[in-house]
């Protein structure tokens, strides 16, 4: 089904694969009649050409990229604009699309959600942006339909910024990187490795894009095969897939932890642009006659079967057939994991109770968002459900078309009528089911969804309050097949269905009538509409010469997601008030984190006021006494040592691009994280942009909660580009450890020294 090559490969004429081992060069010479160096062949990828076209300084060791367009939604755009204002925002230099598809429901915290929408519209007028009103489109569908184009690069403050099927390299990063683009700076990264995803064969009827995506994620996530790399889709199998099918695979590449993705383009992509009134956006893209890739994933589309990703990650995949044959054994293992996460009894009650007469029965089904809510997916659901019913019992099903223009086409084609007659609830464009702000199942409920993620909290449950629900990811087709059987898990390939494939006739005038497009027409006199819930960032100090960190949380999970660090769902409604939002940091993972962090921060504020914090904390005084006597640092003055909190984790930062996962720690007085590994580049970048030191524990004892970590001469170490940083753990005794900050470029070092991106650019 999926094969991962253990070497790099040469791709000849887009179809012949030569592994980079043994007699590769001799084989190349025989095939093409000339020698091609690996360096030249690397320049033959689609990705290389697009990246080089967008880098500002040719020949640099790093890429210094300027993007063609920017995109944000209403969990991130207010804080981004507020940050940019703090460093001198005058106008948006490239098209910046402000969508409102996450906090669309104005039902939490009074008027705060709609206040953010009003703020965004006023900012679009003042700075020359593009404003997409709530319920009109989800962020990525709008970008596909109206902005993305061949050879472009788009930066979005959402991790699923992926438009590769249209020939666009989309990158999802935290808001700090958007701010840099707004103020004319660059996105600086090392040249990424490129991995080919070679598609061959034709998918079986009933197999959908989520099935292909989950199979790929299951094969590559745990081994890190594509981490921070570009996935480049090639091979004859592409031609067999519609553009929307490609979108459905492409948007899920984020869950493989790659940097970006791009596909070969063809006549189908050209027709897609014609149908959307943007024929000039098409560009034919394919690798050169010889291209080199650092790896290759071979996907035999004909062998892909309907898949299910069980809680609590998209990589926890099984074929539905395999799962049905081993339901009780597999769910027993899931129950053990749930018990380890939520406590004794919760796993057994919450998961295995779903098995009746040997079959898994689910309570709820959702098809939504940038992955599920496409025309073809919804059309396939209607074909399966036509003349049938989802039933009148506890099982329910909802569908969220991803844009209003698409909704009109669904109405005209009769698809909406079919769905409604079957008992399906139709909603407007909204991302809520993808991040836990819509269709939350009942306690211990089980939901199957064609959405992007199934992390803990993404279904809306609050385990710390005993409210637990579960989400499995599936393709829309198998979700509909399960609905036909009243919630009993069923693969779409088990049914005999004739798929109608109606035309999706794009209604552009919906956008023309409702979207405010002010790009190139900023009005400096326009007034920003600021509500009480929208506040400025608090002051953040620059890095001191020495640093003393108190470990206020230790997280033992194999992977900590950004949802663990700052929950999504209804909590996101407070995102425009940094201090208010920070009150929820780690609330569903470590409820005591905020209280502990605040206690440390109160002592740091004493220090910043010019007083000795030890006078108010006997514990802190004892720590300094032990450091002076043990480490031999003599007259160490506590008033001159920065005091902050830190958390300790194994692998941290998987998931969302939301910078609030880092900024919420920072405004509570966090000054560092200590981890064995950072799950994504974007989370590490978020830490840096908010002045948080992304430490890696290289050697020495692992600190425990309540310990202190003293890092002497940290400012000097950063200035001198030191790789290893000596530090000391102060617990029952004082022990030396070795930390590192990994590779930092000059700009990142200076941001850390200045204490935050805001400080750096405001003072530069």
Specify the CATH number for the domain of residue 441: 3.30.499.10
Residue 295 bridge partners (DSSP) = 195
Question: Residues near 629 by Cβ (< 8 Å), separated by ≥ 6?
Answer: none
* Rounded CA separation 129/656 (Å): 24
Supply the pLDDT for residue 338.
74
Mark which of 246, 268, 303 sits at the end of a domain: 303
Domain-embedded: residue 491: yes
| Domain-embedded: residue 80 | no
Does 442 lie in the same domain as 493? yes
Would you state the pLDDT for residue 754?
95
* Distance, CA of 575 to CA of 579 (rounded, Å): 9
- Strand-pairing partners, residue 85, are none
299 shares a domain with 214: yes
Residue 738's beta-bridge partner residues? 699, 726
Q: Is residue 573 part of a domain?
A: yes
Are 481 and 585 contained in the same domain?
Answer: no
Same domain (yes/no): 265, 391: no
Report the DSSP beta bridge partners of residue 124.
none
User: Is the residue at 155 inside a domain?
Assistant: no
Peptide bond into 312 cis (omega under 30): yes
CB 119 within 8 A of CB 528: yes
> Both 206 and 271 in a single domain?
yes
Q: Residue 13: which CATH number? A: 3.40.1060.10
Q: Is 75 contained in some domain?
A: no
Q: Can you give the length of the chain in residues?
A: 764
What b/e sequence results for 494-527 when a residue is b if at least 16 CB atoms lie within 10 Å of its CB, and e otherwise? Answer: bbebeeeebebebbeebbeeebebbbeebeeeee
Express each pLDDT in 528-551 by its tens digit: 999 888 888 898 999 999 999 999
Question: Which residues does 448 contact at the CB level (< 8 Å), separation at least 6?
Answer: 308, 362, 364, 365, 366, 471, 472, 473, 474, 479, 482, 489
Indicate if the alpha-carbon torsion angle 332, 336, 341, 344 is positive or negative.
positive
Could you give the number of structural domains in the chain?
Answer: 3
Structural domain range at position 704 = 546-763
Q: Are 364 and 446 contacting, i.e. CB atoms less than 8 angstroms apart?
A: yes
Are 428 and 132 in contact by the 8 Å Cβ rule? The answer is no
pLDDT of residue 106: 57
Mark whether 340 and 488 lie in a shared domain. yes
pLDDT score, position 454: 87
H or E element that contains 324: helix 320-325
Spell out, as residue ranges, where the chain has pLDDT lower than 70. Answer: 58-60, 106-109, 343-350, 352, 569-570, 632-635
**Final residue in a domain of this structure, among 485, 509, 533:** 509
Both 654 and 583 in a single domain?
A: yes
Torsions phi, psi of 120, nearest 5?
Answer: -65, -40
- Is the domain of 578 the same as that of 661? yes
pLDDT at position 398 = 93
Q: Which residues 6+ apart lie within 8 Å of 343 measured at CB?
A: none
Q: Which of 274, 303, 332 is the last residue of a domain?
A: 303
Same domain, residue pair 407 and 318:
yes
Q: 377 and 468 in one domain?
A: yes
| Single pTM value for the model | 0.92
The per-residue pLDDT for range 553-576, each reduced to its tens digit, is: 999 888 898 888 988 766 777 888
Are 468 and 331 contained in the same domain?
yes
Please indicate, yes or no, if residue 121 is contained in any of the structural domains: no
Q: In this structure, are 474 and 563 located in the same domain?
A: no
């Amino acid at each position: 089904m999926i094969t991962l090559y253990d070497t790099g490969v040469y791709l000849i004429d887009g179809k012949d694969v030569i592994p980079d081992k043994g007699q590769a060069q001799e084989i190349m010479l025989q095939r093409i009649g000339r020698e091609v160096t690996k360096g030249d062949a690397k320049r033959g990828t689609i990705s290389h050409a697009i990246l080089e076209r967008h880098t500002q300084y040719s020949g640099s060791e790093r890429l210094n990229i300027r993007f063609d367009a920017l995109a944000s939604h209403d969990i991130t755009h207010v804080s981004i604009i507020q940050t940019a204002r703090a460093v001198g925002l005058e106008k948006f230099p490239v098209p910046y699309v402000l969508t409102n598809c996450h906090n669309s429901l104005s039902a939490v915290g009074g008027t705060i959600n709609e206040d953010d929408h009003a703020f965004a519209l006023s900012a679009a007028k003042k700075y020359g942006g593009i404003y997409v009103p709530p319920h009109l489109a989800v962020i990525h569908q709008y970008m596909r339909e109206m902005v993305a184009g061949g050879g472009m690069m788009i930066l979005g403050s959402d991790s699923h910024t992926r438009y590769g099927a249209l020939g666009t390299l989309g990158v999802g990063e935290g808001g700090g990187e958007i701010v840099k683009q707004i103020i004319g700076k660059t996105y600086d990264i090392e040249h990424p490795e490129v991995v080919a995803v070679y598609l061959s064969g034709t998918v079986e009827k009933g197999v959908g894009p989520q099935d292909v995506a989950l199979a790929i994620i299951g094969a590559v996530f745990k081994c890190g095969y594509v981490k921070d790399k570009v996935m480049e889709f090639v091979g004859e199998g592409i031609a067999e897939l519609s553009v929307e099918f490609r979108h459905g695979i492409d948007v899920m590449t984020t869950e493989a932890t790659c940097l970006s993705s791009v596909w070969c383009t063809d006549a189908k992509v050209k027709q897609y642009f014609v149908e959307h009134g943007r024929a000039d956006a098409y560009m034919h893209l394919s690798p050169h006659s010889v291209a080199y890739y650092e790896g290759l994933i071979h996907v035999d589309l004909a062998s892909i079967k309907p898949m299910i990703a069980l809680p609590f990650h998209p990589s926890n995949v099984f074929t539905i057939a395999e799962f049905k044959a081993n339901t009780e054994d597999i769910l027993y293992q899931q129950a053990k994991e749930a018990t380890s996460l939520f406590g004794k009894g919760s796993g057994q009650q919450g998961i295995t109770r779903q098995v009746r007469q040997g079959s898994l029965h689910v309570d709820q089904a959702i098809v939504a968002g940038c992955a599920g809510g496409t025309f073809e997916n919804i059309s396939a659901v209607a074909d399966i459900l036509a003349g049938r019913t989802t039933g009148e019992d506890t099982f329910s099903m909802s569908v969220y078309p991803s844009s209003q223009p698409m909704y009109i086409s669904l109405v005209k084609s009769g698809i909406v009528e079919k769905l409604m007659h079957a008992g399906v609830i139709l909603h407007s464009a909204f991302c809520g089911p993808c991040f836990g702000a819509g269709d939350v199942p009942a306690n211990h409920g089980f939901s199957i969804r064609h959405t992007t993620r199934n992390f803990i909290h993404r279904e809306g449950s609050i385990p710390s309050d005993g409210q637990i629900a579960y989400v499995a990811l599936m393709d829309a087709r198998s979700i509909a097949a399960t609905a036909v059987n009243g919630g009993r898990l069923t693969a779409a390939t088990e049914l005999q269905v004739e798929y109608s494939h109606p035309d999706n006739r794009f209604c552009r005038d919906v956008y023309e009538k409702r979207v405010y497009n002010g790009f190139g027409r900023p009005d400096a006199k326009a007034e920003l509409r600021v509500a009480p819930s929208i506040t400025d960032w608090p002051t953040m100090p620059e890095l001191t010469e020495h640093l003393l960190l108190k470990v206020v949380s230790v997280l033992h999970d194999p992977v900590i997601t950004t949802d663990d660090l700052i929950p999504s769902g209804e909590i996101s409604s407070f995102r425009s008030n940094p201090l208010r939002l920070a009150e929820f940091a780690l609330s569903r993972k470590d409820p005591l984190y905020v209280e502990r962090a605040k206690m440390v921060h109160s002592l740091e504020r004493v220090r910043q006021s010019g007083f000795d914090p030890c006078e108010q904390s006997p514990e802190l005084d004892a720590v300094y006494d032990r450091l002076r006597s043990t480490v031999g640092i003599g007259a160490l003055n506590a008033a001159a040592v920065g005091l902050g909190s830190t958390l300790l984790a194994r692998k941290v930062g998987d998931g969302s691009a939301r910078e609030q996962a880092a900024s919420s720690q920072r405004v509570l007085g966090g000054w560092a994280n200590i981890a064995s590994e950072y799950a994504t580049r974007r989370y590490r970048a978020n830490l840096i942009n908010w002045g948080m030191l992304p430490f890696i524990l290289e050697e020495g004892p692992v600190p425990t909660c309540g310990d202190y970590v003293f890092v002497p001469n940290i400012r000097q170490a950063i200035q001198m580009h030191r790789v290893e940083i000596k530090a000391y753990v102060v617990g029952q005794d004082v022990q030396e450890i070795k930390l590192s900050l990994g590779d930092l470029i000059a700009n990142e070092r200076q941001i850390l020294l200045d204490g935050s991106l805001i400080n750096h650019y405001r003072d530069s």
